[in-house]
Copies of this chain bind each other. A is one copy, B any other.
Amino acid sequence: MTSPSSSSAKTPEFGRPLQGWRLRCYTIIFEADTRAGRLFDLGLIAMVLLSLLTVMLDSVASIHNEHGRWLTGLEIFFTAVFTVEYLLRLACVRQPLRYALSFYGIVDLLAVLPTYLAFFVPELYALVDVRVLRLLRVFRILKLNAYVAEYASLALALRASSRKISVFITAVLMIVLVMGTVMYVVEGPINGFSSIPTSVYWAITTMTTVGFGDITPKTDLGRAIASLMMLLGWGVLAVPTGIVTAEMSAQRLASAPKATTRSCHVCLSEGHQADSKFCRHCGATLPAYQRD
């Protein structure tokens, strides 16, 4: 899109093109094609990782007692930097509201919010770790667009199968609700199944084969039902893999093997089966097959 000012950004949204310092800011912060942009993103990754480390270390009681003040100081510094960066972002896009409501905008806000909330509710301080989601943005610097593209194709595959997945998840939820309730009736609060929600939690730990062991069935009937659930949860994984493997092997053994390099000397076609005598494209006689 042309513009009288040559220092305008190519897109981004409608309205007046960016100019001057706002354009420069935008180029550095949002794009990664220039050297300054790349350096900015690298510095951002480093800061995010350092701030994560700070919060994680601060949560360990022994380290907190010794170095708590330094760590808190560091964290205030990081939060200040990220806040300034966030305000800059708001300032140098054309439609700040649109940015603020986008996925990355919300992530950037959540990256600084917990520190401020912690003034009022100190226990929320640890939620600073949510800023790890900022690392999603800085994939560009490492030319990880290709990586994201790979993931996008997988996401596309999942979306195509979203119906099947919905049905599957609904079935699983129904099963754990019914089974959890049955175990609540069979075992009862005496044996640890203190309520239906608790029993459903147990049913999920069992069907997903996690098996914490904080709640376990004690009665024989309860253990029998638990056995059924375990075999079901594990079988949901084992049965399809077995079927798929058996089918693939059957295909490979029975049908035309892909890997034959036999070629017809008349029409030069390849890939004829090991037991073919004639070329299936032109009818010429194939030379005898010698296995390596």
Contact = CB atoms under 8 A, between A and B. Distances in A.
A235 interface: yes
Contacts of A59: 184, 195-197
Interface in A238-253: 238-253
Contact of A157 (B133, B206, B249, B257): B249
A276 interface: yes
A116 interface: no
Given A243-B245, A244-B240, A208 B233 contact: yes
Interface stretch (A22-30, A65-73, A121-129): A121-129
Contacts of A194: 60-61
Contacts of A269: 275, 289
Interface stretch (A11-19, A77-85, A89-97, A168-176): A168-176
| Copies held by the complex | 4
A44 interface: no
Interface stretch (A1-9, A32-40, A98-106, A219-227): A219-227
Interface of A: 52, 55-56, 59-61, 123-124, 126-127, 129-130, 132-133, 135-136, 146-148, 150-151, 153-154, 156-158, 160-161, 163-172, 174, 177-178, 180-182, 184-185, 188-189, 194-198, 200-201, 204-214, 216, 220, 223-224, 226-227, 230-231, 233-259, 261, 263, 267-285, 288-291
Contacts of A223: 197-198, 201
Contacts of A257: 255
A275 B268 contact: no
A240 B241 contact: yes
A150 B247 CA distance: 11
A224 B247 CA distance: 34
Contacts of A220: 197
Given A197-B56, A276-B280, A285-B283, A165 B239 contact: yes
A59 to B, nearest CB: 4
Given A239-B168, A247-B252, A261-B291, A277 B270 contact: no
